[in-house]
Structure 1
Amino acid sequence: MKKIKLTLFTLLSLSIFLQSCVDDLDVTPEGETQLSVEEFYAQPGAYKQALAGVYGNLSLTGTSGAESSNIGGIDAGTSQYGRVLWYLQNLSTDEVIWSYENDPGTREIQRNIWSATNPIIRGMFSRSTYQIALVNEYLRQTSPSVLSGRGVTDTNLLNDIELYRKEARVLRALAYYHLMDLYGKAPFVTEDDAIGTAGPEYNREQLFSYIESELNELLPDLKNPRTNEYGRLDKAFANMILAKIYLNAEVYIGQSKYQECMNVCSEIISSGYTLNSNYLNNFKADNHTSPEMIFSLQSNGEVTQNYGPTTVIINGQVGSIEANGSQFGVGGWGGALRLRKQFVQKFDGSEFSSDVRKTIISGSRDIEITDIANRDQGYVLGKFSNISSTGVAGISTTFVETDFPLFRYADVLLMYAEAQIRKDGTANNTSLGYINSLRTRANNGSTLNNISLSSLTLDFILDERSRELHWEAHRRQDLIRFNKYTGGSYNWAWKGNGVNGIALSNHLKVYPIPEAALASNPNLTQNTGY
Structure 2
Amino acid sequence: MKDKMIKGKKLLYILFSIALAIPFTSCLDDLNTTPEGPNVSLDPYADASNYPMLVAKVYSGFSKLGITGPDGDGDIPSSPDKGKTTFLRTYFNVQELTSDEAKCAWSDTDEKNYSQTLLTPDNYIGYMLYQRCMLNIVFANEFLRNTQVPRVEVANLDRSRAEVRVLRAMNYYFLLDIYGNPGWVTEEHPVTRLPQQLGREGMFNWVESELLDIEKSGLLLDQSASTYGLITNQVVQTVLAKMYINAEVYTGKPRWNDALAYAKKVTSYSNLQLEGTYQNLFCADNDRSKEIIFTLPYDNKMATDWGGIVFVMASSTGGDMLSLLDFTASWSGNRATQQLTNLFAGNDKRALFFKTDRDQIMTDLSNFNKGWSVMKFTNKGWDGVPNPLGAVQWVDTDYPLFRLADVILIQAEAELRLGDANAVNSYNKVHAHPRTGLSAVTSITLQDILNERGRELYWEGQRRTDLIRFGKFTKGYNWAWKGGAQNGVDIDDKYNLLPISTKHLTGNPALVQNPLYK
TM-score by length of 2: 0.92
- Distance, in Å, in 1 between the alignment partners of 2:232 and 2:102 is 32
Q: CA deviation at 1:28?
A: 4.9
Q: CA deviation at 1:37?
A: 3.5
Residue of structure 2 equivalent to 1:208: 204
Select which of 203, 211, 222 maps to 1:224.
222
Residue type of the alignment partner of 2:313: I
1:96 touches 1:337 (CA, 8 Å); kept in 2?
Answer: yes
How far apart, in 1, do the equivalents of 2:425 and 2:388 lie? 37
Superposition pairs of residues 296-307 of structure 1, within 5 angstroms: 296-307=295-306
Deviation at 1:199, TM superposition (A): 2.1
Does the C-alpha gap of structure 1 residues 378 and 32 become closer, same or farther in structure 2, counting only changes over 3 Å? closer
1:509 and 1:482 mapped to 2: Cα distance?
Answer: 12
Counterpart among 231, 234, 243 of residue 232 in structure 2? 234
Q: Is the aligned partner of 1:437 residue 2:437?
A: no
CA distance in 2, matches of 1:34, 1:197: 29
2:102 is the counterpart of 1:107: no
Residue 497 of structure 1 corresponds to: 484
- State the shift of 1:356 in Å: 1.0
1:12 positional shift: 5.5
Aligned to 1:78: 84
In the alignment, what sits opposite 2:363? 370
What is the CA-CA distance between 1:202 and the residue it aligns to?
1.8
Q: Could you tell me how far apart the structure 1 residues matched to 2:289 and 2:41 are?
A: 40
Tell me which residue corresponds to 1:312: 311
Q: Deviations over 1:113-133 (max 9, x none)?
A: 221111110110000001110
TM-aligned CA deviation for residue 268 of structure 1: 0.6
The one of 340, 348, 360 aligned to 1:343: 340
Query: Which residue does the alignment assign to 2:127?
Result: 122
1:195 CA drift (Å): 1.4
Letter aligned with residue 451 of structure 1? V
- Once residues 394 and 179 of structure 1 are traced to their aligned partners in structure 2, the CA distance between those partners, rounded to angstroms, is 40
Distance 1:228 1:205 in 2: 36
Counterparts of 1:178-189 in structure 2, within 5 Å, are: 178-189=174-185
Q: 1:393 is aligned with what amino acid?
A: N
Q: Which residue of the partner structure matches residue 460 of structure 1?
A: 448
For structure 1, list consecutive stretches of 5 or more residues without a partner in the other structure.
Answer: none
Letter matched to residue 213 of structure 1: S
The answer as to whether partners of 2:276 and 2:435 remain within 8 angstroms in 1 is: no
CA distance in 2, matches of 1:250, 1:497: 29
Specify the alignment match of 1:294 in structure 2.
293
Deviates more, 1:365-374 or 1:519-528: 365-374
From 399, 403, 408, the counterpart of 1:404:
399
Q: Is the 2:68–2:83 contact (alpha carbons within 8 Å) kept by the matching residues of 1?
A: no
- For residues 18 and 178 of structure 2, the distance between their equivalents in structure 1, rounded to whole angstroms, comes to 25
Query: Equivalent residue for 1:268?
Result: 266
1:191, CA displacement in angstroms?
Answer: 0.6
| Change beyond 3 A, Cα 1:163–1:411 | same
Q: Which runs of 5+ in 2 are unaligned?
A: 1-6
How far off is 1:233 after superposition?
Answer: 0.9
Q: Does 1:482 align with 2:459?
A: no
Task: Within 5 Å, give how 1:275-290 maps onto structure 2.
Answer: 275-290=274-289
Q: 1:131 aligns with which of 133, 136, 149?
A: 136
| Contact 2:277 2:435 (8 Å CA) reproduced | no
Counterpart in the other structure of 1:332: 329
SS of 2:402's equivalent? strand
Would the alpha carbon gap of residues 372 and 13 (structure 1) be closer, same or farther in structure 2, given more than 3 Å must change?
Answer: farther
Counterpart-to-counterpart distance in 2, 1:143 and 1:81: 28
Looking at structure 2, the residues matched to 303 and 196 of structure 1 have their Cα atoms a distance apart, in angstroms, of 34
| Change over 3 Å in CA distance of 1:529–1:12 after alignment to 2 | farther
Equivalent of 1:387, from 380, 385, 398?
A: 380
Cα deviation for residue 338 of structure 1 reads: 1.3
After superposition, the CA RMSD in angstroms is 2.0
CA distance in structure 2 between the partners assigned to 1:78 and 1:330 by the alignment: 21
How far did residue 211 of structure 1 move? 0.8
Once the two structures are overlaid, the 10-residue window that deviates more, 383-392 or 230-239, is 383-392
Contact 1:61 1:70 in 2 (8 A): no
Instruction: Look up the SS of the partner of 2:400 in the other structure.
Output: strand
Render the CA deviation track for 1:278-310: whole Å, top value 9, x for unaligned.
111000011111110000111111102212342
Aligned 8 A contact 1:74 1:119 in 2: no
Q: Which residue does 1:15 correspond to in 2?
A: 25
CA separation of 1:12 and 1:188: change in aligned 2, threshold 3 A: farther
Q: After the TM superposition, which residues 51-200 of structure 1 pair with which residues of structure 2 at under 5 Å, given as runs?
A: 51-60=55-64, 63=67, 65=69, 67-71=72-76, 72-102=78-108, 105-144=110-149, 147=150, 150=151, 152-153=152-153, 157-158=154-155, 160-200=156-196
Deviations 1:112-154 (A, max 9, x none): 222111111011000000111000000112122xx2xx3x24x
Once the two structures are TM-superposed, the CA of residue 333 in structure 1 deviates from its matched residue by 1.6
Contact 1:30 1:64 in 2 (8 A): no
SS state of the match for residue 383, structure 1? coil
User: Given residue 41 of structure 1, which amino acid in structure 2 is its aligned partner?
Assistant: Y
Superposed displacement of residue 363, structure 1? 3.0
| Aligned match of 1:472 | 460
Q: How many equivalent residue pairs?
A: 500
Helix, strand or coil: the match of 2:343?
helix
**SS of alignment partner, residue 424 of structure 2:** helix
Identity of aligned residues (%): 31
**What SS does the aligned partner of 1:275 have?**
coil
TM-superposition CA deviations, 1:197-243 (whole Å, max 9, x none): 10211211111101111111001321122265221110010111101
